[in-house]
Amino acid sequence: MTHVEQPVEAAAGPAPDARSQPATWRDIAAAYVGLTKPRVIELLLLTTVPVMFFAARGVPPLGLVVATVVGGALSAGSASALNCVYDRDIDEQMRRTRRRALPRHIVSPAAATVFGITLGVLATVVLLVFVNALSAGLALLAEAFYLIVYTMLLKRRTTQNIVWGGLAGCFPALIGWTAVTDSLSWAPVVLFLVVFLWTPPHTWALALRYREDYAGVDVPMLPVVAPAAEVGRQIVIYSVAMVAVSLLLWPVAATGWLYPVAATVLGAVFVAQAVLMWRRSVGTEELSRIRPMELFHSSNLYLSLLFVAVALDPLVTR
């Protein structure tokens, strides 16, 4: 459902082959959970639930929140599991991914496919029955976009893979809104665009750290084909645009004072960090000097705090 990335460090050398010793039921359970990429789900829900508070202009019904969270988590888990099946060949070669379930042969591709499809069906049923058809349709669209447009068509073909493929990760903002209102408006579209513009800086910072991995499997992420200074420049451009768009929510949705203050402060800090990373990258390709993971972790914090402000604004300033 999304392409929000999380770093996964692995020990040097090839991934251990689980066929060399029997896997315990705990290993298998953990492998299936890992297929859903739980950290990605956490970040997705952090953009869904606050929008529900914002749409309700207060506290939304608890049952609706639970149903939306469960349906959204199942949908994201489904997309992640099927992504792991399709990308298992390159996952086995990359340090960041070689300890996933399929490269370690704890789960077979067939079993992972059935698991992913089952999660997708359950997600659709939950959202249809307990939320509404619009939210269920948006979740299905996000899954299809992530799997077909990003994973199958863009990821291995273009440096713009994450720019357009990242659209899938923007849908939780829409789903959170439609879960409460059963309609769309400009406010969730603004938040959709914020996540869209946030995704390249977030992912390119991580890809800069793991560019050798991507190069080794012929995935043309921008840091693979462009100098670090150009990556830094592009990150600054997207960061400035992201902050500018985030401030549009104030007039579009007539927010209180909390959101614009938070968006301004958080945005200024993020842009300053992006500019600092760009300056460090000029004239060098040494990651120890560029320190891209600082910006990666800051990007997670930025998005989390911005959406917390989205949730709190109607509660504090109404």
pTM for the whole structure: 0.90
Residue 149: inside a domain: yes
CATH no. for residue 42? 1.10.600
The residue among 166, 187, 199 whose CA lies nearest residue 250 is 187
Residue 8: inside a domain: no
Residue 167: inside a domain: yes
The pLDDT profile of the chain, 318 residues, written as one tens digit per residue, is: 444 555 544 433 444 444 446 678 888 899 999 999 998 888 888 899 999 999 999 999 999 999 999 999 999 999 999 999 999 999 998 888 888 889 988 999 999 999 999 999 999 999 999 999 999 999 999 999 999 999 999 999 999 899 988 898 899 999 999 999 999 999 999 999 999 999 999 999 999 999 999 999 999 999 999 999 999 999 999 999 999 999 999 999 999 999 999 999 999 999 999 999 999 999 999 999 999 999 999 999 999 999 999 999 999 976
Residue 9: inside a domain: no
Residue 10: inside a domain: no
Residue 9, Cβ neighbours under 10 Å: how many? Answer: 7
Residue 273: inside a domain: yes
- Helix (H) or strand (E) segment spanning residue 259: helix 258-281
**Which residues make Cβ contacts (< 8 Å) with residue 137, sequence separation at least 6?**
none
Contact predicate 165/149, CB 8 Å: yes
Contact predicate 79/2, CB 8 Å: yes
Residue 51: inside a domain: yes
- Domain residues for the domain of 260 are 18-317
Residue 7: inside a domain: no
Number of structural domains (the chain) is 1
